[in-house]
Structure 1
Amino acid sequence: SVAGAASSGTSPSTSATILGPMPFASSVVVLLVVSGVWLIMTDPWLGLFAFLVFPLMLATNILYQRKVDYHYQVAQDELGALSEAAHESFDGVLVVKAFGAEERETERLAVISRRLRKARTNAISLRSTFESVIDAAPSLVNLAIIGFGAVRVRDGAMTVGELSAFVFLFTLVSLPLRIVSFLFSELPHAASGWARVQQVLNEPLQTPPRAAIVPSREAMVELRDVAAAHVATNLALQNITLTVARGRTVAIVGATGSGKTTLLHLIAGLVAAQSGTVRLGTSRVGLVFQEAFLFAESLRYNLTLGADISQAAIDRALRIAAADGFVADLGVSLDTELGERGVSLSGGQRQRLALARALAVGSELLLLDDTTSALDPSTEAAVLTNLRSLGDDVTTLVVASRPSTIALADEVVFMVDGTIAAAGTHDELVRANDAYRTLISAFEHDRHDGEDRGHH
């Protein structure tokens, strides 16, 4: 009953879905049993002949499942490949256009589509053949019964009335047999989908990396002999020991591939530590990526993500991120809808809005993964100065590559090959560390080259 389903924690709709077919199924079973007994009692030989349809259906179904299972599995795999390829094409549309690869990308999708069409065509063809055989089998057996029964009537083994009743009853039995056969035809498709669902459900659950982070009552960030890896056999970070006091601004500097982004992801709880201890002085951590993601929603939603945040807090966040000026210049309100991924804004504007979002939601630890790369040096310096003015309210770790920006930090962490090679102020490292001095010189050289190209 519905009340019983509710009391057992099962929804009424689920109970109805499961129990609804039961009366029909039970009536089919009763019909088959009673009809079978009556057919055998009327004429044993003719009854046995009539029930030849059952092994015929069973053999056909076994053959069908063996053949069609493979094609349905291939079709499911190709559908997944097509969905993934289409998603990649939409996400990488700018790359495709920039390299003039529209035709090659279209052909790549067409090849996958053709494979999907072939697999589905093969599966549907087999299914059509199976259904035709199942539909024809009872009719063919019925014709054979009439022919064989006519011989029995001629020999006086049964009457015309008994033969007519026999044929009529077998016709009634044929309907549920066809329904059962239809269910058989759906089994391979359902089994293929079930296998894919089980593949996901059987994946072992992993403990979220954030669960291993321990609260700290002293420093904002404490890392003790930490190692981390994206691939188990290749450590991206090793022997990382770092302490960051509250309210400090720390610049993380290093060559490409030195582990700067991985370090931020480790602190944010996106990458699990293989060994060592990670301690944080807050749970309110804001990670701002270099590629700022904006929703196709209002400016207010992109800053608050739907949280109940006051107008004063939003204005303060925009001011600190140096975004209040361009928002006012755009002449839009906070309720103005942005385009998909903020397409109507420049890269620097998107980065500042992403930073303002992290500030608006009350982040006490800011992790900036080259977040200011699209800003001009003066705007970047203004943003970092604003962050430093917050005092102990906000602690900032920023991946930086501009010497002028690095010099504004309270401390610099210099990374080489996944380890912290040196730490100190910018001036201290320039004087004491040759590798750091060489890297800063390269940064300066790149900046001057960029300025020269801009003048020309």
Structure 2
Amino acid sequence: MSSSPSSHSASLSTPQALWRLAPFVKPVVWRFAGGAASALAAAIIALMIPIVLEQILRGPIESGEISLIVLGAVAVLALGLGEAVMVWLRRWFILKPSTEVEYQMRTQLYSRLQALPVAFHDRWQSGQLLSRMMQDIGLIRRWLAFGLILLVVNILTILIGSVLLFRWHWLLGVIFLITGIPMWIRGYLFEKRYGVLTRRSQDQTGDLATSVEESVHGIRVLKAFGRGKHALTRFSGQAETLRETEMSKARSVGALWFFLDLMPQIAFGVSLMSGIWLISQGSIDAAQLFAFFAMATVLRWPIESIGFLFSFMLDARTATDRVFDIFSETNSITDPENPVQIGEPRGELVFENTHFRYQDAGSAERDLLDGIDLVLRPGETMALVGLTGSGKTTLTTLPARLYDVTGGRVLLDGVDVRDLSLVELRRHIAMAFEDATLFSASVRENVLLGRAELDIHSAEGERVLREALGVAQAGFVDELPEGVETVIGEEGLSLSGGQRQRLALARAVAAAPKVLVLDDPLSALDVDTEALVEEALRHVLAETTALIVAHRPSTVALADRVALLERGRITAVGTHSELLRSSSHYRHVISSLEAEEAVRTGAIPVIDLQTDTQNDTRTDTRTEEEEVQA
């Protein structure tokens, strides 16, 4: 996917972009206000100290009265302690609310990711999503707790302190203000370059996270093919690119810091010469000049911090843009305004002139599914067969609305699936995929994932669990270290492919759907286990409508009828025997499945498969040509 900012985010100014955080901050805004007030109070107390020092120099020190000097020292100490208390209060006010904002943003972003359609996840890299979820939201929290408050307070401190500088002499105040103008100009120019660099850096961090995740998940493949060094080279290149971007950021910040540090030094030097001249003219005295420089020293940290806080703000703005790139994504698969209730479902599934194409498909390309008409009667098992690329897997994603049709309808008991709430629809339709995905949880939690209303540790939960495991022939779970309570690890990679598929099938069966969609869920099973699972499935499917993508002749044998999918269209529907007699393309597909099955079981070598398939193709072509001529 493109990691460039959305056009809407790019068109916003920095304050407008950051204002989007307001709904998250609003519930705890009073705590942030308390933190800001405490920080401002600390700054004002610090600004009072030079004024008190001026009075001490003019009074107690000139008079030499020890008691007054001690009293002045106590006053300065009290101001210092007051400043420290205000700094502590600032931290106390903002610590908890900043973490609450982080929690709310993270949970809402996760909820948004769960709600967005599969098409969104097809486009986005997982590492990009992970970096937004963890790194960007964490950066926003730190900016709200530290950067925002200090930026506002330090700017106010500079403004108040600059006004106070005029208290001693207008010329000294003017000098200080004039030397500050270039800093604001430099800061404006800095925003333009640094904003681009920080977006690039955070996107590259997401790409790097994606590479790490892919390497960890694909470690078996990398090791099996001896491609560890290749992966390291690719990763090193990405890491070097990120390092160069970070160096560019550091150079930009360093140049700004140099400028922000240089200008106060120039201001101090010019002010010192001017102050000495003013003393010689009798316009001010030494106590006033001392107080002026004490005030300028207090203002030095706020001035120098502006560069860091400004870059921090731009980092937070970029992080906000990246997070809201997800929040602003349009969710095309949502609940209807007035959902229809089916009541007691019968399980009739109908594809009515169904069309589908992916969003990135060119306008000149034909639809992947190009007018599907298919009726599955209640309780019927329908096998779906076709050559690779005919659209079988895509068709199975439409009933549960993993994708929405781009034309036509899919009906469940006569109701368009788009008129049902997603919760109800997915309660009636369950799926099992060829690529079985399990979660880092116990066997029990994985299998009973689709039964949210069920107490999985109850007697009923145990009964459903055991029935589902029995259908899937997944008795191996009792041999695991903790039985069904064993945590099977991330994506179930500690299990074999066949074991993962059996647990995924058990999960679909345990959901007790009225319609069961199976995308070749038995491909990793051995012949004997497959036979046992198919026998058990016959009983389950007796009262369940099932659409099964068949990649094996044995799977076709489970079906009451077979639908032949060819170039995005259903070209024939009937029993296995009927289609063998009437469809040459079906015979070709079945012969291909039989040849692949023979190779899988070792009945014939691969070279024979290639020869037989080519012969079947030529025979099939001749037959079709003869039928056309006839």
Question: Match for residue 407 of structure 1?
Answer: 557
Equivalent of 1:106 in 203, 227, 232:
232
Equivalent of 1:73 in 199, 203, 207:
199
Cα distance in structure 1, aligned partners of 2:156 and 2:505: 70
The answer as to 2:318 corresponding to 1:303 is no
Report SS of the residue matched to 2:557: helix
Equivalent of 1:313 in 464, 488, 494:
464
Cα distance in structure 2, aligned partners of 1:118 and 1:33: 37
Quote the offset at 1:113 in angstroms.
0.3
Cα distance in structure 2, aligned partners of 1:124 and 1:298: 46
Moved more, 280-289 or 243-252: 280-289
Quote the offset at 1:180 in angstroms.
4.1
Report SS of the residue matched to 2:512: coil
Report SS of the residue matched to 1:337: coil
The code of the aligned residue for 1:15 comes to W
In structure 1, stretches of 5+ residues that fail to align are 1-7
8 Å CA contact 1:288, 1:358 repeated in 2: yes
8 Å CA contact 1:290, 1:369 repeated in 2: yes
Report SS of the residue matched to 2:200: helix
Moved more, 72-81 or 280-289: 280-289
Equivalent of 1:255 in 381, 387, 394:
387
Report SS of the residue matched to 2:522: coil
Report SS of the residue matched to 2:399: helix
The answer as to 2:328 corresponding to 1:202 is yes
Quote the offset at 1:303 in angstroms.
1.2
Cα distance in structure 1, aligned partners of 2:186 and 2:37: 26
The code of the aligned residue for 2:235 comes to L
- Check 1:161–1:242 CA distance in 2 against 1; reply closer, same or farther (3 A cut): same
Show the 5 A alignment for 1:9-28. 13-25=28-40, 27=44
Quote the offset at 1:52 in angstroms.
1.9
Question: Match for residue 18 of structure 2?
Answer: none
8 Å CA contact 2:279, 2:286 repeated in 1: yes
The answer as to 2:396 corresponding to 1:264 is yes
Superposed CA offset, 1:128-175 (max 9, x none): 332243234324312321112112222334333333333333333434
The TM-score with structure 2 as length reference comes to: 0.65
Superposed CA offset, 1:9-44 (max 9, x none): 977644312552145348567765665445436433
Equivalent of 2:250 in 124, 129, 132:
124
The answer as to 2:234 corresponding to 1:90 is no
- Check 1:168–1:352 CA distance in 2 against 1; reply closer, same or farther (3 A cut): closer
- Check 1:177–1:387 CA distance in 2 against 1; reply closer, same or farther (3 A cut): same
Cα distance in structure 2, aligned partners of 1:167 and 1:328: 79
The answer as to 2:459 corresponding to 1:444 is no
Question: Match for residue 4 of structure 1?
Answer: none
- Check 1:190–1:446 CA distance in 2 against 1; reply closer, same or farther (3 A cut): closer
- Check 1:142–1:385 CA distance in 2 against 1; reply closer, same or farther (3 A cut): same
Question: Match for residue 506 of structure 2?
Answer: 356
Q: Which structure shows the higher strand fraction? A: 1
Cα distance in structure 2, aligned partners of 1:176 and 1:189: 19
In structure 2, stretches of 5+ residues that fail to align are 1-22, 45-152, 414-424, 607-630
Report SS of the residue matched to 2:589: helix
Superposed CA offset, 1:309-357 (max 9, x none): 4211111111222223x34566862112324333343222221111111
Cα distance in structure 1, aligned partners of 2:196 and 2:240: 17
Quote the offset at 1:412 in angstroms.
0.3
8 Å CA contact 1:287, 1:367 repeated in 2: yes
Cα distance in structure 1, aligned partners of 2:477 and 2:299: 75
Cα distance in structure 2, aligned partners of 1:121 and 1:290: 45
Cα distance in structure 1, aligned partners of 2:226 and 2:338: 46
The code of the aligned residue for 2:177 comes to F
- Check 1:377–1:397 CA distance in 2 against 1; reply closer, same or farther (3 A cut): farther
The answer as to 2:181 corresponding to 1:55 is yes
Cα distance in structure 1, aligned partners of 2:304 and 2:233: 43
8 Å CA contact 1:130, 1:185 repeated in 2: no
Aligned-pair identity (%)? 32
8 Å CA contact 1:209, 1:272 repeated in 2: no
8 Å CA contact 1:209, 1:270 repeated in 2: no
- Check 1:247–1:332 CA distance in 2 against 1; reply closer, same or farther (3 A cut): farther
Moved more, 145-154 or 262-271: 145-154
The code of the aligned residue for 1:353 comes to L
Question: Match for residue 3 of structure 1?
Answer: none
8 Å CA contact 1:209, 1:269 repeated in 2: no
Question: Match for residue 279 of structure 1?
Answer: 411
Cα distance in structure 1, aligned partners of 2:356 and 2:387: 18
Cα distance in structure 2, aligned partners of 1:332 and 1:155: 91
Equivalent of 1:64 in 190, 203, 206:
190
Quote the offset at 1:224 in angstroms.
0.8
The code of the aligned residue for 1:238 comes to D
Q: Which structure shows the higher helix fraction? A: 2
8 Å CA contact 1:210, 1:272 repeated in 2: no
Report SS of the residue matched to 2:332: coil
Cα distance in structure 2, aligned partners of 1:212 and 1:286: 23
Cα distance in structure 1, aligned partners of 2:410 and 2:576: 25
Show the 5 A alignment for 1:391-430. 393-430=543-580
